[in-house]
Amino acid sequence: MFRPILLLLLSLLMTSANAEELQINVLQPGDGAEAVPGAEVTVHYTGWLMDGTKFDSSRDRDEPFSLTLGAGRVIPGWERGLEGMRVGEVRELIIPPELGYGARGAGGVIPPNATLRFEVELLDVNAPPFSELDNRGLAEMIAQGVKVVDIRRPEEWHQTGVVEGSHLLTAFDRYGRVVPGFPAEFQGLVARDEPVVLICRTGSRTATLARALAEQLQYQNVYNVTDGITRWIAEGQVVNREIPDEAGRG
């Protein structure tokens, strides 16, 4: 059965000019665990076009839907709209096309430039198997000598600079595929019981990687810099712009 909300349209053309805002209306408050980036969340949802046409519903199937928040597996309106929910909460999300399926629509069910309305109930939250760090936490880790691994691509390092002393090791190529040599190089750099901090541009790639390292490779002390180097720079922290030509390996 077709499930539009599961589609990740990598070719979606999103324009920021004149973009409408995501609207979030709390229909029922919740008092359980909070949905945070990196957590696995389980929801029931129903989606409508603004003319009232229902195009998808997990309730109709009696089949809750689970996703890892922040992993980029759903439309941006969902990523933003679910964050901060608590178990038991019900939200109405009014998602403009720029944060939905844009000018292309989806699967012949969602027309181009459609504004979408969802009613979402948060059923469960499983905390991420890693820890989150803000800039203060990152500074403390650096002071303690904990390894910081910047997993971005070389052109990104050159564009922004990197946290002083960080190890530069590209995890994903520009298409989001894991670089073949990354797992072995990472394991050669960081022991499984050793604390390690991961940083990228905004924290989304590192949240995905932190979960994989914890769940698949049994790393025990992985930390993700929640807002990535973007916030680090915005707050006036020092970066190193002298990137070695051989950067990318440990």
For 51-106, the three-class secondary structure string (H helix, E strand, C coil) is CCCEEEEHHHHCCCEEEECCCCCCCHHHHHHHCCCECCCEEEEEECHHHCCHHHCE
H helix and E strand count, the chain: 7, 13
Q: Which of 24, 65, 94, 101 is catalytic?
A: 101
75 labelled catalytic? yes
List the catalytic residue out of 24, 65, 95, 118. Answer: 118
Q: Is 62 a catalytic residue?
A: no
Single out the catalytic residue among 5, 24, 65, 75.
75
In the annotation, is 130 catalytic? no
Is-contact 127 33, C-beta < 8 A? yes
List the catalytic residue out of 45, 182, 186, 219.
45
Catalytically annotated residue among 5, 55, 110, 130: 55
Angle 227-117-81 (CA atoms, 0-180°, nearest 5)?
15
The answer to whether residue 175 is catalytic is no
Host H or E run for residue 185: helix 182-189
Q: Which amino acid is at 85?
A: M
Q: Of these residues, 24, 56, 182, 186, which one is catalytic?
A: 56
Whose tokens are 């810099």? That residue is: 225
The catalytic residue positions are 45, 55-56, 75, 101, 118
